[in-house]
Amino acid sequence: MPEEGVPLPRADLLTTEEILTLARLFVKEGVDKIRLTGGEPLIRPDVVDIVARLHQLEGLRTIGITTNGINLARLLPPLQKAGLSAINISLDTLVPAKFEFIVRRKGFHKVMEGIHKAIELGYSPVKVNCVVMRGLNEDELLDFVAWTEGLPLDVRFIEYMPFDGNKWNFKKMVSYKEMLDTIQQQWPELEKLPEEESSTAKAFKIPGFQGQVSFITSMSEHFCGTCNRLRITADGNLKVCLFGNSEVSLRDHLRAGASEEEVLRIIGAAVGRKKRQHAEFSLMLQDSPPAIPSISLRGSLRVQGLRHRVSSSSQMVTLWKGCWVPQAPLLAQRWLGSGFPQRHLSSHPDSDANPKKCLSPEPRAPATPSGPLPTSDQLTHVDTEGRAAMVDVGRKPDTERVAVASAVVLLGPVAFKLVQENQLKKGDALVVAQLAGIQAAKLTSQLIPLCHHVALSHVQVWLELDSTRHAVVIQASCRARGPTGVEMEALTSAAVAALTLYDMCKAVSRDIVLGEIKLDSKTGGQRGDFQRT
């Protein structure tokens, strides 16, 4: 929560009726679990009424809530009566003074009161979510585990993840294996419990303890291959991945009078674009990328929703999540189209001999194979008298344009090692270069005098470490719909990302070489597609 607090854009938020309309639609299509979270859902004045009306939906088996716990003791009795069946409480420390430092307000004892009230009312287990951060609370791991000895708690240790505004730093992350090793030194009898197919947590139990501990390993051992969750933000945007920036406004379609079938098609199209791993700042932390489990899009999905955008997640608003139970193939056909193919993703082809640190490890955008690009003996950016001039694209038709460009930065062994281990004094060079590449693509028309301004619909920048050459391989993909292509945007993105790496590393070595800046592929436009062979 920002120190100054946040305003609530009430007109933008889903109304109670819109919440229930979407919930009814999802449950009708097979959802059997919905979770409200936030922000803080318990400050919404109609939260008890929402739970009660959700409880009336036929086929909904579980209604859960994730809360900071401050208002829980007061509201839990009416919530339980309304039909609330599962509770998650966010608590990152067992030290009252540290609690106040983290959440910027008092309330530790109210949270503890809420936890004990949940146990008293028969909730078992009561899940406690703890984000573990080096230098803040990793020294409390054993205290949290000991807490489960006499109470029916499921303490869930969550790896520190990157979100807008949390000043994420790789050095602050405590991995699952490190946490597990610390606990096993104290309790070597710790037992692994069976996992459900779509579980996000690895569960363990100490014999004789009432409760258990779990680990959510979204950074070191991602579970994207079995993730069946969708989310709907408080202002009605569908997110198929918590880390992704792509959102589709269901609220706007509802308010425009879209039919149930139209909303289902919109949801199906969004699910079809779900990436194989969480996007943007996801980091592969192993020396070589792990095998990625096969994913197939079937009727088994999970809905998780009603949460404000990550950039304003501190607003105290509602998040829903639920479980999409396996349905007949007809459901998948209805959502994804009867001819929609299943996606199967193989493991990463790289070997240990070629370790890479990948940002945004989604598959690279494929270029459509085609013949050579038609060439011309006339320059297009000069007028009849040979003076520089912009091309008039006013009469050209709008088409979908995609371009992919790449560059290579040869760092040398010293700088490469520092980048690989994220030990540069300036910070994480790969993250900074990725952001620079995205920003550069959007500013291309301001940097290249005769380029038209293009309203980009998507920019993606990948950076991979190539240990054989002590190099960083950059690839930038740009997409837009318009009368002119996005080749310059992709090339500018790759080039500026390369320049940024140079700037980040120049204090270590001046013997850095930038090269191989080239267009790899482009699609769309009158001159046809291009694929570099």
User: What is the set of active-site residues?
Assistant: 503
Alpha-carbon gap, residue 178 to 436, rounded angstroms: 33
List strands edge to edge, sheet with 320-321: 248-249, 237-239, 231-232, 320-321, 304-305
- Output Rg (C-alpha) for the chain, integer angstroms: 25
Q: Which helix (H) or strand (E) holds 321?
A: strand 320-321
Q: Please say whether the beta carbons of 179 and 325 come within 8 A.
A: no
Altogether, the residues listed in the chain come to a count of 533
Hey, what are 476's tokens?
């930038």
Q: Which is it for the CA torsion 336, 339, 340, 343, positive or negative?
A: positive
Q: Which residue has the tokens 């950074």?
A: 219
Alpha-carbon gap, residue 443 to 447, rounded angstroms: 7
Residue 47 backbone dihedrals phi, psi, to 5 degrees: -65, -40
Q: Is the peptide bond before 39 cis (omega within 30 degrees of 0)?
A: yes
For residue 99, the one-letter residue type is F
Alpha-carbon gap, residue 380 to 377, rounded angstroms: 9
Hey, what are 191's tokens?
């037992």
CB atoms closer than 10 angstroms to residue 379: 8
- Tell me the three state secondary structure of residue 529: coil
- Tell me the three state secondary structure of residue 33: strand
Q: Please say whether the beta carbons of 250 and 232 come within 8 A.
A: yes
Hey, what are 170's tokens?
């790789």
